[in-house]
Amino acid sequence: MAALTRNKKNRTNSQTPPLNKRTKSSPLKKAAKSQKPPLKKQRRCIPEEKPVIATDEEEEEEIEQSNQGDEGSESGSDFFSDGDGEDVNDDGGADDLLFGSDDEEGTLGSDSDESDIEIKSRAIDKKRKKEEKDAKDEFTMNIKEQPDEFQLPTKKELEAEARGAPDLPSLQIRIREIVRVLSNFKDLRPDGAKRTDYVDQLKADLCSYYGYNEFLIGTLIEMFPVVELMELIEAFEKKRPTSIRTNTLKTRRRDLADVLLNRGVNLDPLSKWSKEVGLIVYDSQVPIGATPEYLAGFYMLQSASSFLPVMALAPQEKERVVDMAAAPGGKTTYVAALMKNTGIIYANEMKVPRLKSLCANLHRMGVTNTIVCNYDGRELSKVLGQNSVDRVLLDAPCSGTGVISKDESVKTSKSADDINKFAHLQKQLILSAIDLVDANSKTGGYIVYSTCSIMIPENEAVIDYALKKRDAKVVPCGLDFGQPGFSSFREQRFHPSVEKTRRFYPHVHNMDGFFVAKLKKMSNAMQPTETDKPVETMRQAQVSSSDDDEEAEAIEDLKKPSVANGQPKRESNTKEYKNRQKFPRSKETHKGRRNTRIKSESGSGTVEEPRKQKKKRSQWKNEIAQAREEKRNAMRENAKERPKHRK
């Protein structure tokens, strides 16, 4: 038995070393190999950054750390090599040797990662500080190069610029500097500088940079402060967003938005003021004006500013409404939708070619309460009858200075004469619109006047003219936003109620430039009130008084009895009096001004004297006829007496 046990022990001793070598050598080598790759993987996980120029100190630190890492790796290899010949009796210890310790791997990986991150973070901080320092030095250098005070270019410099092509960057910088100086001219102006010089230079630069003519830029500079002027001009250079109006006769805005979103149209509700009908379109994968929904009349392509006049008009059901300039039909179809196809709408358009688009849109949108007519808007009150409708919408033809982003030709094509012509036409149209409205209407009696212009002669001046010529007043438009109208401009002074009108600008409201005014007709009287009659000038009063004095003297001379031969001739027999009788002066222009007072000049000064009371026309006519009859009778008697005296 002892021999058997010895043989077994020998067998086990002889067999175990090869097994230990097999089991230890291959796993340990694998473990030694498996310990290094995780460090590389962890290093790869660190985000790569731009190469940083390292200094000498940083390079030395990296070399030392790399040497330490090499020493650690060598010690690790020695550790595994020394353990090849030892017996491992404990299972836990064998597992540690075979697969490595998690604590050791974590400590080794964390130390190396932390060291790499610290190096890179230091390099990034150092680079950032260097960039900040360079930027600061460059900023101070630029400040030193530029003068403290902006100086206008001299005549020679301007002549040199005019010879060559315009330098747009330098023009932009100069415009910015001039605007900065003019915004606080009291504190920033150089000694001896005049504001007019800066304004003139700003006009010239804006004309050359943005392509405006001198008239339009000069008018805009007078209307707006320079800072707001630049915002307005920059807004004119950008296109306004596309907007559509839902046709409530056929669908709702929510349903329409869902359908268009499914077709690839990116849109949003316009705003709260659009009253559940407006949508703003950012982009579309299909043509927004050729979708099946558009052809079916579910919506209308319409700018946001075109919603405003109809919203201000606020038509009611079963009313009689007139749209004096209806084409292409965007506002007319909106009015029909608000009236729910009840009542009557007279859609008038003076230009025959535009009637085609008007009728097409009316049919497409399903409007059935509209009558299309082709008349001059100035004569429309004679066709439909005065005081015959409840409301009138007048979107008057204008210069288009509020839609420059759509039509850039306005920058150079409009002049002062064009503005005056449009203003004259607009005054005639608004008087015709007021005459159409019935002041005694139970629900209406309103006129809405709108233009796509920002010029004051086309807007506030027209409203002020209408207030003087007709018995009407300005009422609030019912719009929650918009800037009030001008109550005065330069030497012009308008009615205080003109401030109730509303102006809309692209740089403030992100829509086309627009003007909206709402009038309420107070009575059907066409003549202006006494306060609005033209005031008689001093020269006219003096002329009328002198004419009256001459007529009174002529009547007194005619009343004198005739005298026999040898007496001097009366004034009635002179040529001057006969010519005066042939061409009498008209007194119609001076009618109703008998009680005015004039100032007669004297040596000491001016003294007010009452005018002589003028006799009635019928009375002095009878007196002249009577005086002439007496003269004829006297001449007959003299003719009878002359033959007797000769005998």
Q: Which residues are catalytic?
A: 452
Rounded Cα distance between 278 and 7, Å, is: 103
376 is in an annotated binding site: yes
Torsion of CA 15, 17, 18, 24, to 10 degrees: 140
Tell me whether residue 331 is annotated as binding: yes
192 is in an annotated binding site: no
Residue 395 annotated as part of some ligand binding site: yes
Question: Sign of the CA dihedral 245, 246, 248, 253?
Answer: negative
Q: How far is residue 129's CA from residue 135's CA, in Å, rounded to a whole number?
A: 10
- 477 burial level (CB within 10 Å; 0-12, 13-18, 19+): buried
| Residue among 538, 548, 611 at smallest CA distance from 584 | 548
Sequence-distant (6+) residues with CB within 8 A of 437 are: 387, 389, 390, 391, 392, 444, 445, 446, 447, 521
Q: Is 541 annotated as a binding residue?
A: no
For residues 214 and 196, give the distance between their C-alpha atoms in angstroms, rounded to a whole number: 15
Residue carrying the six token digits 């409301």: 391
Alpha-carbon gap, residue 105 to 127, rounded angstroms: 33
Q: Is 439 annotated as a binding residue?
A: no
Strand order, beta sheet including 299-301: 265-269, 278-284, 242-246, 299-301
3-state secondary structure of 506: helix
Pairing of strands 320-323, 391-395: parallel
Nearest to 305 by CA among 508, 504, 507, 519: 504
Is 2 among the annotated ligand-binding positions? no
DSSP 8-state class, residue 267: E
CB atoms within 10 A of CB 183: 13
Residue type, 587: K
Cα separation, 298 vs 252, whole angstroms: 9
- Strand partners of residue 472: 521
The CA distance from 446 to 476, in Å, is: 11
In this structure, the chain runs to a length of 647
* Helices vs. strands in the chain: H and E counts, helices first: 23, 17
Helices (H), 296-364: 307-313, 330-339, 355-364
Q: Which residues pair with 268 in a beta bridge?
A: 280
Give residue 148's Cα distance to chain centre. 35
CA separation for the pair 528, 140 (Å, rounded): 69
Tell me which H or E stretch contains 607: strand 606-610
**Residue 327, annotated ligand binder?**
yes
H helical segments located in 350-502: 355-364, 380-384, 410-413, 416-436, 460-469
Report DSSP letters for 37-74, one per residue: HHHHHHHHHSPP-------HHHHHHHHHHHHHHHHHHH
Q: Are 144 and 108 in contact (CB under 8 A)?
A: no
525 is in an annotated binding site: no
Residue type, 389: V
500 is an annotated ligand-binding site residue = no
Distance CA 65, CA 77 (A): 18
Binding residue ranges for S-adenosyl-L-methionine: 325-331, 349, 376, 395
Binding residue ranges: 325-331, 349, 376, 395
